[in-house]
Amino acid sequence: MTNQTRTMVIVWLAVCCALVFIMVLLGGAVRLTGSGLSMVDWKPIMGVFPPLSEIAWTRVFEQYQQFPEFKIVNAQISLEKFKFIYLMEYTHRMLGRLIGLVFFLPFIYFVIAKKLSVALMPKLEPKLWLLLTMGVIQGGVGWYMVKSGLVDNPRVSPYRLVLHLLIAVLIYAYMLRVLAGLLPIRRTNPPRAQKFGIAVVGVILLMIASGGFVAGTHAGLIYNTFPTMGGEWIPTEMGALTPMWLNLFENPVAIQFTHRAMAMLVLSLVVIYALMLMGGNQKVHSVLIGIGLLIAVVFQVGLGVVTLVSGVPPVLGVAHQAGALILLTIAVISVSLPALVNDDTGA
């Protein structure tokens, strides 16, 4: 029965991971198409159904016209174009509700049926409760982010955007860690490689946060040249704001420079880690993970350059975000597989 339950939990978490992966990409698409402020209210229950008639569409369009984004940015938008951005944001919110149901209902069943035993994984149930709590918090943070763009300045706060993105990515990474810990494959990483791999995961997460600030400040739309930025290796506008630390979060030039520098750091660290996994007498799956990391990081850095010099078209922007998640996925799995000996390291 334990093996059957293990399979059920693995499949359930895999489906949830896939949905969260799609959710993050859809969030990126919403951002890149300027759709995030099209729904000006939050109705967790009553907001399940979209406008179903022209009268209903006219009503929500008139609501949108009362807010700064219409008055300052989209004063010329037609009803048909409004429908597109509204449905983008609507789909994003509905997918969030779907993820909540797909996670919550099976979880409650497993809890009531007492199937989340220690035999599956130590502290499995508390880890799942933590994921549920993070999901609830994420829903509130999403509306907290949108509210920042419904005031005088029709622009979502980059800080709230990055917070929303990071919570989503942390939910994905932690859920993936729990899932990997249930797999029958055993980790053979030497202690040094294991510690290095955990550090690599941390740097990839920082890289994704950096990408959030690039998106939030539109830093990808300036200096669309590579490897230099407008002919300079270090742009003169790097320190335009005071105090100096503020440039890292609000100066688009410094934000783009930091993102480029972090890309080179991630590339270097991942290559070193991949070679660690592929060296010595490692198992076949460790070698395959190493090869996967090399392919993913080279592809991601190359795609980032193409996206930048192309002026960040939405399709490439979303593809670049997908590349970051794929790289994170492989790295998280590499350090989260069960060890050859009992390895209960907590959360």
Chain segment 9-49, per-residue pLDDT in tens: 999 999 999 999 999 999 999 988 888 888 877 776 656 77
Backbone φ, ψ for residue 187 (5° rounding): -80, 135
Per cent of the chain over pLDDT 70 is 95
Per-residue pLDDT of 85-113, as tens digits, reads: 999 999 999 999 999 999 999 999 999 98
pLDDT for residue 341 is more than 70: no
Inform me whether the pLDDT recorded for 270 exceeds 90.
yes
> Which is nearest to 169 in space by CA: 327, 4, 334?
327
pLDDT exceeds cutoff 60 at 125: yes
> pLDDT category, 285, cuts 50, 70, 90?
confident
pLDDT reported for residue 1: 42
Whose tokens are 């449905």? That residue is: 87
Distance, CA of 195 to CA of 200 (rounded, Å)? 9
Could you tell me if 123 and 131 are in contact, meaning their C-beta atoms sit under 8 angstroms apart?
no
Q: Mean pLDDT, to the nearest integer, of 179-201?
A: 91
Query: Using 50, 70 and 90 to split pLDDT, how confident is the model at 343?
Result: very low
Residue 95, burial from CB neighbour count under 10 angstroms (0-12, 13-18, 19+): middle
Residue 32, both tokens? 């890149």
Task: Give residue 214's pLDDT.
Answer: 95
Chain mean pLDDT for the chain: 89
- Residue for token pair 């991971």: 17
- pLDDT above 80: residue 312: yes
259-285 average pLDDT score: 90
| DSSP sequence for 212-277 | HHHHHHTGGGS---SSSBTTBSS-GGGG-SSSGGGHHHH-HHHHHHHHHHHHHHHHHHHHHHHHHH
Average pLDDT over residues 153-172: 90
Start-to-end CA distance of the chain, whole Å, equals 25
What the block records as the tokens of 117 is 């035993």
Per-residue pLDDT, 342: 46
Of the listed ranges 11-20, 55-64, 246-255, the one predicted with least confidence: 55-64
Which residues have a Cβ under 8 Å from the Cβ of 330 and sit 6 or more positions away? 289, 292, 293, 296
What does the pLDDT read at residue 251?
Answer: 94
H helix or E strand, kind and range, residue 328: helix 314-336
Beta carbons of 292 and 279 less than 8 angstroms apart: no
For residues 109 and 48, what is the distance between their CA atoms, to the nearest angstrom? 24
The structure tokens listed for 155 are 């622009």
pLDDT in tens, 192-202: 999 999 999 99
The distance from CA 315 to its chain's CA centroid, rounded to whole angstroms, is 16
Q: Which residues contact 57 (CB under 8 A, 6 or more apart)?
A: 51, 79, 83
Residue with the bigger pLDDT between 286 and 196: it is 196
- 134: number of Cβ within 10 Å: 16
**3-class SS of residue 25:** helix
Position 46 scores a pLDDT of 59
In the predicted model, what is the mean pLDDT of residues 73-90? 89
Does 260 have pLDDT greater than 90?
Answer: yes
| pLDDT band for position 347 (cuts 50, 70, 90) | very low
Euclidean distance between CA atoms 310 and 313, whole angstroms: 7
Q: Look-up: residue for tokens 């040094």?
A: 192
* Residue 187 bridge partners (DSSP): 339
Calpha distance 21→19 (Å, rounded):
5
Could you tell me which residue, 279 or 267, shows the higher pLDDT? 267
At 156, is the pLDDT very low, low, confident or very high (cuts 50, 70, 90)?
Answer: confident
